[in-house]
Amino acid sequence: MVDYPIPKKKAVKRKSSSKKRRGMALEKLVDEANRFYLEHDKAIIHKKPTPIQTVNVDYPAREKAKITEAYYRKPSTTDYNGIYKGFYIDFDVKETSHKTSYALKNIHEHQIEHLSRVKRHGGLTFILIHVKREDASFLLPFERLEKYLERAKTGRKSMTFAEIAAEGFRIEEGYRPRLDYLRAVDTYLKNK
């Protein structure tokens, strides 16, 4: 980006907002957007709690139950689902610090299976991916991702950033919410 002749103040502002943005994990921005959508009655999308197997729970008198032994369980779905414009929506959030591409092994088998099922049943399925190097986020429809998962079986095991940008819909940064990913969903719906 060219710094001149843009006034210095503006440039600084942009830089600092971008810095803040980078420091915040994509999931946090998605959660923030979901709260905004709920408040403004645009969509009802929630993050699923992490599945935990409790083994021991203490019930101290006059205090709330305290879990003293528990273990993380393997999730069987994606992290996010809900309803938007009458559609069942289902997605996962990914981030990469890699320089040039996104390794597809980071999309786990149970997530692929789940998204593939939901797609077949008529749901809107995608992943939201944040490319840290370029500070850019994309909505990548699952049916487009599938081609690359197929390719990975015999060929290249990753998607280049150019492929992600070409196949996905860029999520523009905004003010409220900062990551207005439903606008990318709208574009996706128009192009579907």
| Spatial distance between the Cα atoms of 47 and 93, rounded to a whole number of angstroms | 10
| Number of residues engaging its own copies in binding (CB under 8 A) | 39
Min dist CB 18 to its own copies, Å, is 31
Identified binder of its own copies from the candidate list 6, 12, 25, 44, rule CB under 8 A: 44
Q: Which is nearer to its own copies, 79 or 173 (CB)?
A: 79
Cβ 73 vs Cβ 48: under 8 Å: no
Q: Cβ of 1: how many Cβ atoms within 10 Å?
A: 7
Among the listed ranges 15-23, 75-83, 161-169, 181-189, the one in contact with its own copies (CB under 8 A) is 75-83
Q: Does 52 bind its own copies (CB under 8 A)?
A: yes
Q: What token pair was written down for 117?
A: 């099922």
Q: Does 108 bind its own copies (CB under 8 A)?
A: no
Q: Does 65 bind its own copies (CB under 8 A)?
A: yes
Question: Residues interacting with its own copies, by CB under 8 A?
Answer: 38, 41, 43-44, 46, 48-52, 54, 64-73, 76-77, 81-88, 90, 114, 117-118, 120-123
